[in-house]
Amino acid sequence: MMMAMKVYPSKIKEVKMLQFPSLGGCCNISHFTTTRHGGVSKGPFASLNFGRHSGDDIRIVWDNFRILSKAIDLPLENIYAPRQVHGSNIVDIDDAFLSLSREKQQEYIQGVDALITKISDVCVAISTADCVPILLYAPDKNVVAAIHAGWRGTVQRIGTKAALYMKEHYGADPTCMLAGIGPSIDCNSFEVGEEVVHAFSEAKFDLISIMKRNLETKKAHIDLWEANRLQLMEAGLMQENIEIAGISTFMHVDDFFSARRLGKDCGRMLSGIWIKGLRK
C-alpha cells in the first residue's frame, strides 16, 4: 500500500526525519528515515550525510552520527550500520555479537547488507542514496531488521532472505510482519541496461510486473518498489502489511540524496529501527 510518511518526532528540530504510519503506530519499536536536513556536512554531502565511504570527511560524518544519536535519544554505540556491498549477507546483532570488541564488531559487519536484532535499544540501520531501504518488524517475536536493497540485492532477494531468517531463527510469523519500503529511486527514473533486465529475468522475476520500456528510447525501467514488495509477499508477508513510501529520491534531491542524480560522490541517508526498552 502506498502511503505518505509522517514526520519523526526528533529531539533536535533541525534534524528532519520521516516514519511509516504503520510502523510508527507500534508502541514496542521506533524507526526513522533521515533526509538531507540537520547535519554539518558541506557541498555534495550537505548536510546530514551518513556515508562513511562517500568521500566526505569521516570526522564530519561521525559528527552527523552524534547528531542523530541525540535526535533519536539512543547512545551512539547502540547504532549499528554495516559496510554494504550490494549483496545479500545478513548479520544478527545478538548477545554473542555484542560480547565482541568494538573492532571485531565492525569487522563482522563488513560486506553486509542487512542487520537483524531482537535486543532492545539496539538500532540496526542501513545507508542509501537511491537504493531501497526496507525496515521489517515481527511483532509476535519482537524482532526487527534493516535491509539495503539495490538492484543487485533485489535480484538476490535480500528482503525474502531477511524475512525467512526471522522466521527460521526466531520463529516469527511472516503473516504478522510489517514492512516499510522507504524513499528510493522511482521506476520512471531508474533506466537500466539489458544486462540488468537479464539479471532479473534469470532470477525468475515477473518482468511484466516490475519492468516497462520507454516508448521513445526503448530503454528498460525497473520498479524496485514493486520488485521488493513482491518478494516480501513471496516470503509470506501480507499485502496490507507492506507500506511503500512512494517518495522518489531522484525527483526530490532537495530533501534526499540521489547518487544517480547528484553523482556517486554524494551523501547518504540512514534508515534505522529498534526495539524500545524491552530488555531487562
Q: Is the pLDDT of residue 174 over 60?
A: yes
Q: How many residues does the chain have?
A: 280
Backbone angles phi, psi at 49, to 5 degrees: -95, 130
16 in a domain, yes or no? yes
- Please indicate, yes or no, if residue 197 is contained in any of the structural domains: no
pLDDT at 4: 78
Of the two residues 4 and 128, the one the predictor is more confident about is 128
86-113 pLDDT, tens digit per residue, is 999 999 999 999 999 999 999 999 999 9
Residue 123 lies in a domain: yes
pLDDT in tens, 1-50: 666 799 999 999 999 999 999 999 999 999 999 999 999 999 999 999 99
264 falls within a domain = yes
- pLDDT above 60 (res 119): yes
Q: Is residue 148 part of a domain?
A: yes
Contact 177, 166 (CB under 8 A): yes
pLDDT of res. 280:
39
What total number of domains does the chain contain?
1
**159 pLDDT above the threshold of 70:** yes
* Structural domain contains residue 74: yes
For residue 214 the three cell numbers come to 520507454
Whether 87 maps to a domain, the answer reads yes
Question: What confidence category does residue 279 fall into, taking pLDDT thresholds of 50, 70 and 90?
Answer: very low
> Could you tell me where the DSSP H helices lie in 125-223?
151-155, 158-170, 194-202, 207-210
Specify whether the CB–CB gap between 165 and 138 falls below 8 A: no
**Strands in the chain per DSSP E:** 6-7, 17-19, 29-34, 79-80, 90-92, 114-117, 123-128, 132-138, 143-149, 178-181, 191-192, 211-213, 220-222, 242-244, 269-275
- 267's enclosing H/E stretch is none
Q: Which domain holds residue 74?
A: 6-186+242-275
In a domain? residue 201? no
> What is the bridge-based pairing of β-strands 220-222 and 191-192?
antiparallel
Is 60 exceeded by the pLDDT of residue 231? yes
Cα distance between residue 173 and residue 170, in whole Å: 9
Residue 148: CATH number of its domain: 3.60.140.10
pTM score of the predicted model: 0.97
